[in-house]
Every structure is written in C-alpha cells, then in structure tokens.
C-alpha cells in the first residue's frame, strides 16, 4: 500500500516551525518511514509544479505554518487546500496570525514608509519602494503583492485542525501525526492540544491564592521575579488564565510569564478580551479612578494581550476610515 | 534574443528567494538579480510595544537564529533602560550565546553546506544531503552529530526555557540563575563540544583540504570577491560574538573603521531597490556604487570568514591555531574566497566551544545576583551581537514610559545581501556560457550562496538539508524553453 503523502509548507513565518519538526530528532525517522513527505521546502526538494501535478485530494495532510501576508502565500495556501484532504494550521502564525499579526496595527503604506523611508539607516532620497513589476535594462522583474492585512490561515482557506504554539512542542506534533495516521481524529475544527488553561497545569498553580487580588501591575523588568510564585499573584502580567495549556510551561520554567502563544482556551473566541476580563476580576479595587490607574500601568494592552492573536481576534486589525 | 533564467523557489528565512538571470544575445550572463519577495514589517509594529517585550517579540523574525535576535534586543533594552547587567548575568548570556553559535554552525556543516564537500558537488544529487554524509562518515558519526547538537541546545533550553525563541533576557540581566547541577552538566557538554569541534576540523582537513580539486574550487575565481569585511572585536581586536566594537577592514586587510555599535548610523546606510523587499546595506564613507566589489564600492561582507578577516584572530588557543592554519593555506589575510566561509565556520565553532568551557569555569557564573533593576528613565538603546550569519544591530527609541517609538534593525543576513547578489551573478557568469545550462551548474550556483549559510533561508538549519532549486529558461515572450531541477544537499 502506498504511504500517505504529506506536505509541509511555510508562509509568513520565521522558520521556527520547521525547526520544531527537526527537533523531533530520532522521531522524524519514524515519520519518514510512515509517510511520504512530498513537499518540505526547508528540508527537501520541491517544485510548485510537482504539487500542481498531484490530483486534488491526493495529499493526506498539509501542515501549513506562517500567516498570510502576500499574494504568493495566498496562492500556495489555496493550492495546498485543493490538493490535501486535511489541512492543519501549524503554529501560532497560521493558527492565530502570530506575532507578525501585530502588523495589523498598521497597513502597507505605513510599513513601506517606515521600512524604505523614515528609518534612520535608509538612504533613499529617490523615494524608491518595492514594486510589483520593475523594468530593468535586461527585462522585467516581479514581486508578489504585499497586503494591507495579515491573515490567519483560516481567514484565507478552510482549515481542518490547529496545532498551536510558537513553535508547537515535539510531543504535540507527534500526537497529531499519530492521530492522523490512525484516523482517530477529534471533530473538525479542533485544536490539537489540551482543553485546559495554562494555569491548570502550571507548576506555580499552588502558589496562586484562592482569591487572586492585585493592587498594582508590575512590568517584568521592574521587579525581581520570584522563581516559584504565581506571576499574577506578584502583580506581573501572565496571560496563563486566558491561554491554552500544552506548551510544557516552557517560559514559566525559565521564570518568565506567559505571553499566550497557544491561543485561547476552548470555546473562547477572543484571547485578549478573555484575559482583560480575567484581569479586571482580580484587580483589588472597585473604585473607577483606581481602576484607571491600574490600567494605565499597562501602556500597551493590545501588544500584550493580543501578542499572538490579533488577526484572529474580534479586532482583526486597526480600522481606518474609508477614503 | 534575451533569455532569462529564473531560479524559483529558493527556500529562505522569511519565505522565498528568487534569482533572475538575464542572458545576452550570445547566451552569456548579462545580469543576475537576487530578489526577496517578502516583508513582515517588524520595525513598524515594534512601535507602541513595551520595550521590555522586545526580546520576546524580535526573535520571531527568525526561528533558527532566535537567540541572536533575543540577545541583540536584550542588550538594546539594557541600553535603553540605562542599566548594566551584573557580571553573572553577562556570563550566563554569553554562555547561552556561544552554545547557540556552536549548534548552529555545527548544523550548517553537517546538514547543509558540508554535503557538497563530504559527499561531493558532483555526487548523485540524491546523496548530496545529511544521509549521504552519514553514509560517507558512518552512522556512529551521524549519531554523534545529533547527540552533540541536542546537548548543546539543551543549555539554551535550560536557561531560556525554550530553544526556539528563548526568553531569559530582561533589561539588566537574566530571568534565572545557574544551579550546581546545571553547571556540572554544562561543563561536560562544553568539554565534549571542544572535542567535537576538533573532530569536525579534522574531518574537513581529510575530506576537503586533501582533495586538490576542492582546494582549487575554493581558491578559484568563480567564488571570489574583494570586499570590505565587518565583525565584532574585543579590546585586543579578537573575535567576540557577544560584545565589543564593530571593526571594518578594507579589501587589503587594513583597518578601515572601528566603532561602538551606538555609532552604526555614521557608518552604515541601506540602499533600496524597487525589485526586492530586502534592503542593501553599504559603508557610508565609501558609498553605494551598485553591485560591484573592490575598494571603491561600499559593499562589505559579514559572517564567519568576514569576522576572521576583520579581526586579529581568536581569543582561545586551539581556535587560534586553526585560524593560522586557514590563512596559511589561503595565502594570507584577508581571504576573499567565499567557499572558505565553510572552513571559517568550523574554526568559529571551536572558538565557541572553548569559550563555553571558559565561561562555565568562571565561579561567578553561579552568582546569585542575576539582575539589576533599572532606575532611570528609558530613552534610546542599541544592542549588537555577532549572529552566526553576521553583525546584528537592534536600535530602539522609547518614550519615558518605555514605549517603543522607533525600531531599526540591521539584520545579519541582510548585510550580506549585496554580496550574495554578486556571488550568485559571478557564479552564473563563470558557469553559464553560450546559453548552455548544465545540470551540474545548479549545484554550483547554489554553492555560491550556500557558503554564506543563508539564513535568508532558515532553511539551511533543517533536516535533511536539501534546498530545492529550479531553473526555468524562458524566451522573451515568457514561453518555457527548458526547465531543470534537482535536489541540492
């Protein structure tokens, strides 16, 4: 019997999700034994034409990492959707938009103006910006379109499953692959990670008081971080209550608070809003003026509460007036 | 009739790279363009973020060299908050950093760049990869490579929580200290790493340097550019990955500039082309003269060979010996041979291992004082490190609350972008004649930029390390004349 065909591809990503596959170490050999990887640009030969030549649905599964920011990435996502029975949004960027999704606080114009204009090292008095097509003496050069907006994968194509994390840890990757190979899959649309919140599995959970109350927010650099106590109990923002578990508490192990890369817990649409409401409930004051003061001590709630999930949130992006 | 050759896709750090080669009427190369078809805009969306979060946000630029971005940002926010980390924190950072340099360099040699030599540039393409390397050097060595990489990466996991996007750095220090058990483990790992690096250099000596054909290729004209070189050096002008001044030497090896990172804007500018999303850095004092080499062109190179060229050597004894040997064979300093980057990378790997041993030995690494809390009003900060792929500068400005108002990043591989364009063009010119494109050409072109360990391919750090290369020859009307493709080791 022919082995199932698998594709691994990246869009607007950093390569960390590719490293996550590599960090399977010995297990990657088991994977290679069980499946035929027919596309993995980071590690194997591939041609777009090879993928195009596959029958629709010939791929058992396509793992796509990275957000979608350019026309080329959208094309690839659509091509792989056609060819694959299952599409797994792999990693925070495909799942939620990821850190590069914070670019939705801006648009193409402002990014170009900064990147090719106002930044202090740029030498560009001619005002050159990258063009879709450029006439050079020898011919014409093309670039893909850079969109105004960063999209999570399911905003561009239909997605079957989500593997969360920046990057997903090896054990969850292996579990997902095993589930796919054995056909023992949860309902479509599931996130392939525990349903609990990070707090539920956090080794510091015991130090979290029954009723969490904080009077003042401290930014991580403003205070010595106790290596054993609940960050929130210490007044340090940790998005654990609004974040899905399954990461292995790896940032906590380094004595740093969670920033939410695993996305919202089950049945929560908007991770940032969820955290905001969790935070509001633990601030030890009813006085609106005091409340305001506490809020002011977090000068960038968007960046902090939506560090990984802005494109997939209810906010999606900064809204601009129609011109 | 103009023909063009499109090399697309080349897998790379932030999506894809593309090479367009235009042929003249006689079928020789008129011009080659290396294009970066992606941009993510990190500098813009860093604005408005809290400065202390930069070490957690900027690593997302690259999941293969996240430790480089993490450290550059951490140092930049030290500076922005005007706080000096305690000695223990500095030692821990430098230890993690050298562990990172080691595993990253090792991976490139065994999985990516090495197969071209260990297996051979003319070997069957299916063998030109890590599996071919293992077949050649034996399973035992393969297991050794995997084990060594895992243990060295574990130093980063232990201290940084994670090896993909570690989180230890905070303005003024690190988030956790080294325990006695950690130190014992790290000491053994570092010691083994030194032996492993020496083993790797011996392997390179046996496989490459004893092969005249390889040596001729390395020293030949197709892979050669006389450029300026840049790298971080300590007070004795020795290479340092974590800290120091930026030193630039001219194509004759004479010091051209030496400056602290905070002065980078006086020395470096970035040129913009309409056909690439990447920018092209150059030395301000020389100026942008297009994609040409020599003294009169501001193009400079970074990363292993450039670092050795820009220094007076290495600060550890075994690595220094290997440094001397390299320049003896290549005929003196500076060496302009692009393929010698592979060799320089192994010399640096040995330095990183020796440096790890020194750092672990330092009793202060066990110190309890790992952070200094900032007390001053934040304003502006610049951080620099040597990433595996070159000098990396993070520059932030903030308001009084520590909210970023401007971010400017000079990313390691980008420094080499102009040189990579030239290297690809030169290889293409040397290899494509009269419109004839042979199968072997593809790997030779690939080798021209693989030597830089193109983190414009995060690519290069993955198992089993093949890069796809497809060449399309099109007529002026766009019709496909010929398509060639192959696995590249």
The per-residue pLDDT for range B418-469, each reduced to its tens digit, is 999 899 889 888 888 887 776 567 677 878 888 888 664 332 222 222 233 4
B484 vs A: CB within 8 A: no
Whether residue B63 and residue A256 make contact (CB cut-off 8 A), yes or no, is no
Q: Which residues of B touch A144 (CB under 8 A)?
A: 37-38
- Looking at the structure, do residues A243 and A301 belong to the same domain, yes or no? yes
Say if residue A202 is in the same domain as residue A136. Answer: no
Question: DSSP H helical segments within chain A, as ranges?
Answer: 16-22, 27-34, 48-53, 71-83, 91-96, 108-113, 170-182, 198-201, 250-253, 271-282, 288-296, 301-305
Which chain B residues in 153-182 lie under 8 Å from chain A, judged by CB atoms?
Answer: 157, 159-168, 170-172, 175-176
Q: Do B15 and A72 count as a contact with CB atoms less than 8 A apart?
A: yes
Pairing state of beta strands B173-174 and B228-233? unpaired
- Record the tokens describing residue A129, joined without a space: 């910006």
10 Å CB burial of residue B114 (0-12, 13-18, 19+) is: buried
Tell me how far apart the alpha carbons of residues B55 and B153 are, in angstroms, rounded to a whole number. Answer: 19
Which has the closest alpha carbon to B108: B450, B486, B469, B354? B450
Q: Please report, for the domain that includes residue A9, its CATH number.
A: 3.40.50.700
Instruction: Specify the DSSP class assigned to residue B221.
Output: S
Please tell me if residue B27 touches chain A, with a CB cutoff of 8 Å: no
Query: From residue B61, how far is each of A8, A71, A310, B214 by CA, in Å?
Result: 20, 20, 17, 35
Residue A248 lies in a domain: yes
Both B148 and B7 in one domain: the answer is no
Considering the domain boundaries, does residue B284 fall inside one? yes
Total tally of structural domains belonging to chain A: 3
Per-residue pLDDT at B321: 98
A211 in the same domain as A68? no
Indicate whether B168 and B268 sit together in one domain.
no
Are A21 and A96 within one domain?
A: yes
Residues of chain B with pLDDT under 70: 1-2, 7-17, 36-38, 122, 124-131, 438-440, 442, 454-489
pLDDT number for residue B489: 25
Say whether both A61 and A178 belong to one domain.
Answer: yes
Give yes or no for a contact between B251 and B227, defined as CB atoms under 8 angstroms apart.
yes
Residue B152 inside a domain? The answer is yes
* pLDDT at residue B125 in the model: 58
What domain count does chain B have?
A: 3
Are the Cβ atoms of B275 and A223 closer than 8 angstroms? Answer: no
What is the distance in angstroms between the CA of the first residue and the CA of the last residue of chain A? 58
Give the whole-angstrom CA distance, residue A43 versus residue B429: 28
Does A219 contact B at CB distance below 8 Å?
A: yes
In a domain, A318, yes or no: no
Please tell me whether residues B178 and B311 are part of one structural domain.
no
Q: Which of B307, B336, B365 is the last residue of a domain?
A: B336
Give domain status of residue A313, yes or no.
Answer: no
Domain range enclosing B319: 225-336
Instruction: Tell me the residue length of chain A.
Output: 323
Q: Is position A319 within any domain?
A: no
- For chain A, say whether B401 makes contact (Cβ under 8 Å): yes
Does B67 fall in a domain? no
Give the best residue of A14, A44, A119, A311 to mutate against chain B (max B CB count within 10 A).
A14
**In this structure, are B363 and B484 located in the same domain?**
no
Q: Do A15 and B162 touch (CB under 8 A)?
A: no
Alpha-carbon dihedral angle through residues B69, B75, B77, B81, given to the nearest 10 degrees: 180
Question: Is residue B88 domain-shared with residue B201, that is, in the same domain?
Answer: yes
Full DSSP string of B126-165: GGSSHHHHHHHH-HHHHHHHHHHHHHHHHHHHHHHS-SSS
Taking the C-alpha atoms of residue A89 and residue A6, their distance in angstroms, rounded to an integer, is 14
Q: Are B488 and B468 in contact (CB under 8 A)?
A: yes
CATH number of the domain to which B349 belongs: 1.10.645.10
In this predicted complex, what is the ipTM? 0.95
Report the candidate in A45, A113, A49 with the shortest Cα–Cα distance to residue A79: A49
Same domain, A94 and A120: no
What's the maximum distance between 2 C-alpha atoms anywhere in chain B?
71
Residues B192, B213, single domain; the answer is yes
Q: How far is A9 from chain B (nearest CA, A)?
A: 10
Considering the domain architecture, whether residues A251 and A272 belong to the same structural domain is answered as yes
- A32 part of contact set with chain B, CB < 8 Å: no
B45: nearest CB among A106, A166, A251: A106
Q: Do B487 and A45 touch (CB under 8 A)?
A: yes
Residues of A in contact with B172 (CB under 8 A): 221
Strands B228-233 and B300-301: parallel
Q: Which residue carries 């952070």 as its tokens?
A: B371
Cβ atoms of residues A88 and A62 within 8 Å: yes
**Best mutation site among A43, A100, A107, A169 for testing chain B: the one with the most B CBs within 10 Å?**
A43
Q: Would you say residue B103 lies in a domain?
A: yes
Q: What is the residue-level pLDDT of chain A in tens, covering all 323 positions?
A: 689 999 999 998 888 998 888 788 777 777 877 888 888 876 665 667 788 999 999 999 999 999 999 999 999 999 999 999 999 999 999 999 999 999 999 988 888 888 888 888 888 888 888 888 888 888 888 888 989 999 999 999 999 999 999 999 999 999 999 999 999 999 999 999 999 999 999 999 988 888 888 888 999 999 999 999 999 999 999 999 999 999 999 999 999 999 999 999 988 999 999 999 999 888 888 888 888 888 888 989 999 999 999 999 998 888 765 44
Domain extent at residue A291:
198-305
- Assess A37–B contact: CB distance below 8 Å, yes or no: no
Retrieve residue A241's tokens: 């209550």
Asked if residue A164 belongs to a domain, the reply is yes
**B274 contacts chain A (CB < 8 A):** yes
Give residues 259 to 278 of A whose Cβ lies within 8 Å of B: 259
**CA–CA dist B390, B134 (Å, integer):** 29
B388, B407 contact by CB (below 8 A): no
**Domain assignment of residue A299, yes or no:** yes
**Residue B270 with chain A: CB contacts under 8 Å:** 119, 121-124
Find chain A residues with C-beta within 8 A of B106's C-beta.
none
Dihedral class, residue B242 (left if φ above 0, else alpha if ψ from -120 to 50, else beta)? alpha
Chain B closest CA to A195's CA: distance in Å?
22
Helix H or strand E segment including B283: strand B280-283
Decide if A223 and B37 are in contact by the 8 Å CB cutoff: no
Same domain, B205 and B110: yes
Would you mind telling me the total number of residues written for chain B in this entry? 489
The beta strand positions in chain A, using DSSP E, are: 5-10, 36-39, 59-65, 68-70, 84-90, 122-123, 133-136, 139-142, 146-151, 161-163
Residue A41 within a domain: yes
- So what's the pLDDT on residue B10? 52
Check whether residue B168 and residue B110 sit in a common domain. yes
B360/B253 same-domain check: no
Same-domain check for residues A142 and A152: no
pLDDT for position A196: 94
Residues A10 and A113 in one domain: no
Do B93 and B28 share a structural domain?
no
Tell me whether residues B38 and A114 touch, CB distance under 8 A.
no
- A296 HSE (CA, 13 A, CB side): 7
Minimal CA–CA distance to A193: which of A136, A247, A151? Answer: A247
Q: Provide the 8-state DSSP code for B400.
A: T
For residue A29, count other CB atoms closer than 10 A to its CB.
11
Give me the residue label for tokens 């939620």: A96
Instruction: Establish if B150 belongs to a structural domain.
Output: yes
Kindly give, in sequence order, each residue whose CB lies less than 8 Å from that of residue A286, ignoring residues fewer than 6 positions away: none
CB contact under 8 A, A304 and B33: no
Is residue B135 in a domain? yes
> What pLDDT was estimated at residue B486?
36
Mutate to test the interface with B, among A15, A40, A123 (most CBs of B within 10 A): A15
Interface membership of A72 toward B (CB under 8 Å):
yes
Q: Are residues A167 and A292 in the same domain?
A: no
B50 and A42 in contact by Cβ < 8 A? Answer: no
- Is A41 in contact with B279 (Cβ distance < 8 A)? no
Given this model, what pLDDT does residue A47 score? 61
Chain B residues in contact with A170 (beta carbon < 8 A): none
Do B398 and B379 touch, CB atoms closer than 8 A? yes
Residue B121 sits in the same domain as residue B217: yes
A323 in a structural domain = no
Tell me the three state secondary structure of residue A247: coil
Q: What pLDDT is stored for residue A1 in this prediction?
A: 65
Residue B436: CB atoms within 10 A of its CB come to 9
Choose among A123, A130, A221: nearest Cβ to B274. Answer: A130
The reply to whether A76 and A125 lie within a common domain is no
Give a yes or no: residue B422 inside a domain: no
Same-domain status, B165 and B204 = yes
Residue A253 makes CB contacts below 8 A (sequence gap 6+) with: A203, B161
Last residue of a domain, one of B310, B336, B362: B336
DSSP string, B31-73: EEEEE------HHHHHTTSBGGGHHHHGGGG-SSSHHHHHHHH
Q: Would an 8 Å CB–CB cutoff place A134 in contact with chain B? A: yes
Q: Is A299 found in the same domain as A163?
A: no
CA angle A23, B420, B4 (to 5 degrees): 105
Q: How far is A139 from chain B (nearest CA, A)?
A: 8
Distance in Å, alpha carbon of B454 to nearest chain A alpha carbon: 12
User: Do the domain assignments include residue B426?
Assistant: no
Q: Does the pTM of the predicted model rise above 0.90?
A: yes
Residue with tokens 């305690």: B86
């Amino acid at each position: 019997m022919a082995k199932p065909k698998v594709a691994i591809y990246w869009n607007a990503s950093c390569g960390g999700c590719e490293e996550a596959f590599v960090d399977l170490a010995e297990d990657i050999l088991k994977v290679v034994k069980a499946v035929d990887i027919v596309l993995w640009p980071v590690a194997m030969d591939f041609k777009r034409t090879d993928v195009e030549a596959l029958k629709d649905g010939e791929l058992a599964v396509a793992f796509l990492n990275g957000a979608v920011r350019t026309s080329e990435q959208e094309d690839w996502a659509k091509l792989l959707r056609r060819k694959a029975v299952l599409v797994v949004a792999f990693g925070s960027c495909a799942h939620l938009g990821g850190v590069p999704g914070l670019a939705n606080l801006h648009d193409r114009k402002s990014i170009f103006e900064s990147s090719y204009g106002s930044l202090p090292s740029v030498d560009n008095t001619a005002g050159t910006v990258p063009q879709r097509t450029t006439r050079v003496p020898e011919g014409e050069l093309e670039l893909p379109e850079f969109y105004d907006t960063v999209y999570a994968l399911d905003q561009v194509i239909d997605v079957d499953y989500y593997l969360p994390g920046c990057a997903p840890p090896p054990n969850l990757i292996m579990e997902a692959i095993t589930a796919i190979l054995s056909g023992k899959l949860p309902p479509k649309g599931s996130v392939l990670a525990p349903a609990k919140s990070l707090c539920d599995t956090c080794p510091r959970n015991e130090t979290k008081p029954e009723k969490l109350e904080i009077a003042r927010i401290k930014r991580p650099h403003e205070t010595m971080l106790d290596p054993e106590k609940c960050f929130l109990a210490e007044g340090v923002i940790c998005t654990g209550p609004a974040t899905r578990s399954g990461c292995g508490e790896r940032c906590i192990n380094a004595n740093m608070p969670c920033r939410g890369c695993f996305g919202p817990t089950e049945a929560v649409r908007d991770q940032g809003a969820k955290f905001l409401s969790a935070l509001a409930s633990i601030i030890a004051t009813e006085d609106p003026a005091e409340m305001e003061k506490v809020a002011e001590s977090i000068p960038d709630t968007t960046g902090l509460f939506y560090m990984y999930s802005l494109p997939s949130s209810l906010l999606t992006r900064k809204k601009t007036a129609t011109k | 009739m103009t023909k063009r050759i499109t090399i697309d896709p080349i897998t790379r750090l932030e999506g894809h790279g593309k090479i367009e080669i235009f042929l003249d009427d006689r079928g020789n190369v008129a011009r080659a363009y290396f294009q970066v078809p992606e941009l993510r805009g990190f500098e813009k969306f860093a604005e408005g973020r809290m400065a202390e979060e930069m070490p957690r946000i900027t690593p997302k630029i690259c999941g293969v060299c996240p430790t480089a971005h993490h450290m550059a940002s951490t140092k930049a926010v030290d500076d922005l908050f005007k706080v000096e980390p305690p000695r223990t924190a500095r030692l821990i950072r430098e230890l993690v950093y050298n562990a990172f340099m080691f595993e990253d360099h090792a991976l490139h040699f065994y999985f990516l760049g090495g197969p071209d030599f260990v297996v051979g540039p003319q070997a069957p393409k299916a063998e030109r990869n890590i599996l071919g390397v293992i077949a050649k050097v034996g399973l035992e060595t393969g297991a050794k490579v995997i084990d060594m990489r895992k243990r060295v990466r574990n130093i980063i996991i232990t201290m940084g929580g994670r090896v993909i996007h570690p989180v230890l750095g905070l303005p003024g220090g690190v988030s956790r200290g080294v325990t006695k058990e950690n130190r014992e483990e790290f000491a053994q790992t570092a010691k083994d790493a030194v032996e492993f690096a020496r083993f790797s250099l011996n392997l390179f000596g046996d496989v490459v340097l004893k092969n005249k054909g390889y040596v001729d290729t390395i020293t030949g004209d197709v892979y050669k550019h006389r450029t300026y070189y840049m790298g971080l050096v300590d007070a004795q002008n020795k290479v340092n990955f974590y800290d120091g001044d930026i030193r630039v030497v001219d194509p004759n090896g004479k010091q051209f500039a030496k400056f602290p990172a905070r002065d980078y804007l006086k020395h470096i500018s970035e040129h913009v082309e309409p056909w690439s999303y990447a920018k092209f850095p150059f030395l301000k004092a020389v100026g942008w003269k297009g994609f040409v080499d020599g003294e009169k062109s501001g193009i400079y190179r970074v990363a292993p060979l450039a670092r050795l060229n820009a220094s007076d050597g290495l600060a550890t004894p075994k690595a220094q010996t290997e440094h001397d040997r390299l320049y003896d064979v290549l005929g003196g300093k500076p060496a302009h041979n692009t393929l010698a980057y592979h060799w320089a990378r192994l010399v640096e790997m040995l330095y990183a291992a020796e440096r790890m041993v020194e750092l672990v030995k330092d009793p202060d690494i066990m110190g309890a004082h790992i952070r200094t809390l900032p007390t001053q009003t934040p304003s502006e900060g610049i951080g620099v490190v040597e990433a595996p792929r070159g000098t990396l500068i993070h520059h932030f400005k903030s308001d009084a609350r520590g909210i970023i108002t401007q971010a400017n990043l000079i990313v390691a591989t980008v420094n080499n972008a102009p040189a990579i364009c030239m290297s690809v063009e030169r290889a293409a010119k040397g290899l494509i004649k009269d419109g004839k494109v042979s199968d072997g050409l593809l790997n030779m072109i690939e080798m021209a930029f693989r030597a830089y360990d193109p983190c414009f391919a995060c690519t290069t750090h993955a198992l089993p390390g093949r890069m796809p290369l497809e060449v399309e020859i099109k007529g002026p009307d766009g019709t496909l004349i010929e398509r060639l493709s192959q696995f590249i080791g």
